[in-house]
Structure 1
Amino acid sequence: MKKVLRTTTALMMTAVLFVSCDNDDDNPDIINPEELITTVELTLTNDNDATDIVVLEAFDEDGEEGPIAPVVRQNGALTANATYSGMVRFLDSSDPADVEDITIEVRAEADEHEVFYVTDVAGVAIAKNDVDGGGNPLGLDTTVTTGAAGSGNFTIVLRHEPTKPNDGTLTGAGGESDIEVTFPLTVQ
C-alpha cells in the first residue's frame, strides 16, 4: 500500500510540475504572430513650454521594406538647449477604421522588447525612463535633451528579443528589428 501511495504521489507531483512550468514561449504549438507595424509616432513635449510639441511620424502603407516607401514627417523643429518628454507609439493603421495600438503589446511583453534611439545630431541625448519587469530599459517613455542648433538624422528601432541587460547599443543588444525608421531632425 505504501508503494502505491508513493507512486501515486510522485505521479501527482510530476503532473503539477508540468502544469506549473508551462510557458507559451517554450510551446511550439502556440503561435504568437508577428504584428504589422505601419506607423511609428514619437511625440516630444517641451518640459518648459507645453505648447512646444514636435511629432516625428512615419507611415509605411505595406508595413515592410519593399515596394511602398514610408512617408516620414516632422511637424516642427526642436528648441535648442531644451528638455522634452517623449512618448513613442507603434500602430497598425493598415485599416483606418480599425487602428491597432501595437504599443500595448510591446509594453505587455516588455521583457521581449526594447526601443533604441540613434542620432547624429550633436548635443541631442535620449534617456529611457521606463523599464521591463527585470529593471532593464524599455524606451517607450523617454527624455530628449537638445544642445545647440543643428540638424541630422534620428532613428527609432523597436528590437524584438534583445539581450537583456545590454550595453544600450543596437550592436550590443542583438535580437531582431521589428521596425526601424529614420527621421530628419532639426534643432533651432
Structure 2
Amino acid sequence: MKKQVTYVLASFLLLGAVLTGCKKDDKAPENEEELITTVKLTFIEVGNSSNTTTFTFKDADGPGGAAPSLNQQINLAPNKQYNCTISVLDESKTPTEDITAEIIAEANDHQFYFAPNGVNITINGLNNDPLGRPLGVTSVWTTGAAGAAGTVKVTLKHKPGAKGSNDAVTVGETDIEIDFAARVQ
C-alpha cells in the first residue's frame, strides 16, 4: 500500500512538472533594454547662448566587449553657470534611435545622477518627472575657480515602481554609468 501511494504521489509531481514546463508564457517583456552607444552632454553658458559645447561618450557595442571609442573630457570655464542637456542614443541602428525621448516618456521610472569628484563643479537644478521627482535630462552646472582635473560620474538608473524623491544612486538598475574626465580651466 505504501508503494502504491508513493507511485501515485510521484505521478502527480511528474504531471505537475510537465504541465508547468509546457505552460506558454504569453507575456512580452515589459521594458526591453535598449543598447546605449552614445551619451552627449551639451552645455550652454547662462547669459551667453552663443557659447555652446558638447562632450561625447561613444561605445559602439555598449557595456562590456570593446572599450569605448570616445570619452571626451569636459572642459568648462571658471566661475560660470551652464545649462546642460543630456542626450542618450543608440547609433547601432539606422536611423539612430534617440533613447532620450523614451527616458522622458518613462520619466517616473528613470533618473540621472551626476557625481563630481576632484573638480570644482556643482550640479543642481535637475528637471523633474511628472510627480516632481528628479529626472536630470536637464541640469545646471556651476563652476568655481580653475583647478585640478577630476571626474564627473554620470549614471542613468531605471527604477520601475521604486523611484523616490531623494533616492540614492544605489536604487534601481543601472542603464549606463560613465566617468567623464572633467576640468575647470
TM-score range (shorter-chain normalised) is: 0.7 to 0.9
Partner of 1:100: 97
Partner of 2:65: 66
Could you tell me whether the CA contact under 8 Å between 2:57 and 2:68 is conserved in 1? no
Could you tell me whether the CA contact under 8 Å between 1:115 and 1:140 is conserved in 2? yes
SS in 1 for 2:60: coil
The one-letter code of the counterpart of 2:42 is T
Q: Given the alignment, which residue of 153, 156, 171 partners 2:154?
A: 156
Partner of 2:76: 78
Q: Does 1:184 align with 2:181?
A: yes
Q: 1:175 to 1:28 in 2, by over 3 A?
A: farther
Partner of 2:134: 137
Q: 1:181 to 1:153 in 2, by over 3 A?
A: same
Q: Given the alignment, which residue of 85, 88, 102 partners 1:87?
A: 85
The alignment's TM-score, normalised by the length of structure 2, stands at: 0.78
> Any stretches of 5+ residues in structure 1 without a counterpart?
1-26
Partner of 2:33: 34
Could you tell me whether the CA contact under 8 Å between 2:120 and 2:144 is conserved in 1? yes
Superposition deviation, residue 154 in structure 1: 1.0
Q: Does 1:124 align with 2:121?
A: yes
Superposition deviation, residue 127 in structure 1: 1.2
Superposition deviation, residue 44 in structure 1: 0.8
Q: Deviations over 1:57-96 (max 9, x none)?
A: 100010122233342014x62110100001001000013x
Could you tell me whether the CA contact under 8 Å between 1:56 and 1:183 is conserved in 2? no
The one-letter code of the counterpart of 2:181 is P
SS in 1 for 2:49: coil
> Any stretches of 5+ residues in structure 2 without a counterpart?
1-24
Superposition deviation, residue 167 in structure 1: 3.0
What is the RMSD computed on CA atoms of the aligned residues? 2.0
SS in 1 for 2:48: coil
**CA–CA distance in structure 2, aligned partners of residues 124 and 69 of structure 1:** 25
Of stretches 98-107 and 45-54 in structure 1, the one that deviates more from structure 2 is 45-54
Could you tell me whether the CA contact under 8 Å between 2:112 and 2:157 is conserved in 1? yes
Aligned length: 158
Could you tell me whether the CA contact under 8 Å between 1:113 and 1:161 is conserved in 2? yes
Partner of 1:112: 109
